[in-house]
Amino acid sequence: MHILLDRSIRVPIFRQIYDGLRRAILDGRLRPGQRIPSTRSFAADLGVSRLPVLNAYEQLLHEGYLVGRTGSGTFVTGNIPDDLMRSRTTERLTPRARPVVGTRESAVRNQSSTTSWIFPVVPFQIGLPALDLFPQAAWAKLVAREVRAETPERLAYGDPAGLRSLRVAVAEHLRTSRAVRCVADQILIVPGSQAALRLAASTLLEPNDRVAIEEPGYFGAHRAFRAAGTHLVPVPVDAEGLNVAALQRRGAKIRAVYVTPSHQYPLGMTMSARRRFALLDWAARHESWILEDDYDSEFRYVSRPVGSLQGMDARDRVIYMGTFSKALFPALRVGYVVVPPLLWTRFLESRFAFDIFAPTLYQRSLAEFLETGHFARHLRRMRSAYLERRNALLRGLERHCDNLVEVHNSDAGLHVAVLLGEGLDDQDVVARLGRRGLAALPLSNAYIGPTRRQGLLLGFGCAPPQRLHAATRILGDVLREQS
Ligand SMILES: Cc1ncc(COP(=O)(O)O)c(C=O)c1O
């Protein structure tokens, strides 16, 4: 077993060891149940210290690729289905032309929703990053430079797939930090992940198709799939993410499943490796698509980021989508889709049909922002800022709302889901909070089926620690008034 380490690149050694082992497991070079070397001897083989090897093993144990048996060592998990371990050849990563299949869209079904789309920048607002900490001066300089550099050619039409330099930078970022298997030729730049969902729906689905979604789940996905005229099939989530056995029971004719495996929206769990393998297997057997929404996975506080589901997929069933709305700011309206090579032409055709291409000025500025290291620096600063904000929120909840709320999961992302005690109505709590200048979301709104847990989604991204702490005092008062 050998892994090639490259000390000339910016990817940390532990990450290279982790990627190498993960790939070896998924490619089948390491077989299920096979014993892997001790950290000491593997470190000696690689000529590195033991620490990065320990970190890589720990992460793989955490993600379920490895299992430890006391006294006898560390083994590759026995749960990986055989056919998931066929590696994809580079040839399959080269886009190939395919006849374009026409897509139809029905009229938008008129579904009323109580989820407001107004986002005041106040404590508990969900979905907003730390806009107060955005490096505005550096960004303004970059954008101004790009405006000055406009030429008649640059003011003409752009590539529907997106600006080449941005696609290259996004592919590099996704490969190294999200373990996505992709090349720039698979990246489609879109105006945010909402657009990515609509694009995927119009490319892959027909009106009346059935689409499985996590229950509770993301209201933006509900809207996108309803607007495409499809039927939503809610599938419960539990501590391991989407319940794949429940998905199987929903019957065979499900064309696609929407999931948030890195950080389930809204409850916050990470999908276990066991479930990921089961879901990939289900999709391959049913020839269904998996739509992976990796919206805020850059921010993880408890353990290291978990790799993408797309990176585990050997059969090209996953359409991966992400956004800069959380890592930078939502008004940027830049997101991306990683398209399996065989679907590329169909996606590009739909992309053209939507709005031809995304505005180039921000694409150019963003490519510069990524290439010059501003983005990586910003992410590093934001990780510690969010940790501080999250901790302030958790401390405040403990101090002012103890016994009134139960924190569901706070490992990652920019919000915390809390469950409310008996007799408390989340819509009512949110309305009362609104009257006091705070903006949470009711958990019950995230359900489309009849069983609805009462809880609150409390965003901590956009408010400084002291304001969050003060807001928890108001929340405590509101909850006590109600109970
Ligand atoms: C689950 C999920 N996906 C995606 C997004 C972001 O969407 P967009 O990229 O369209 O701004 C959000 C924002 O709150 C979200 O919660």
Supply 159's token pair.
Answer: 């590539």
**Claim: this prediction has a pTM higher than 0.85:** no
**pLDDT tier for residue 93 given thresholds of 50, 70 and 90:** very low
* Dist CA 330 CA 73 (whole Å): 46
- What's the pLDDT score for residue 26? 79
For the CA of 324, the closest atom of ligand 1 is 9
Ligand 1: distance of its center to the CA of 207 in Å? 23
Mean pLDDT over 378-398 rounds to 96
Span 137-158, pLDDT tens digits = 999 999 999 999 999 999 999 9
Span 287-308, pLDDT tens digits = 999 999 999 888 998 877 789 9
Span 327-366, pLDDT tens digits = 999 999 999 999 999 999 999 999 999 999 999 999 999 9
- What's the pLDDT score for residue 81? 55
Which residues line the pocket of ligand 1, CB cutoff 6 A? Answer: 127, 192-194, 218, 220, 260, 265, 293, 295, 323, 325, 330, 335
Ligand 1: distance of its center to the CA of 459 in Å? 13
Test site for ligand 1: of 296, 299, 354, most ligand atoms within 8 A of the Cβ: 296
- What's the pLDDT score for residue 80? 66
- What's the pLDDT score for residue 114? 46
Ligand 1: distance of its center to the CA of 20 in Å? 31
Residue 358 φ/ψ, nearest 5 degrees: -85, 150
Ligand 1: distance of its center to the CA of 193 in Å? 6
Beta strands across the sheet bearing 256-259: 187-190, 335-338, 318-323, 289-293, 256-259, 210-215, 231-238, 241-242
Mean pLDDT over 46-53 rounds to 89
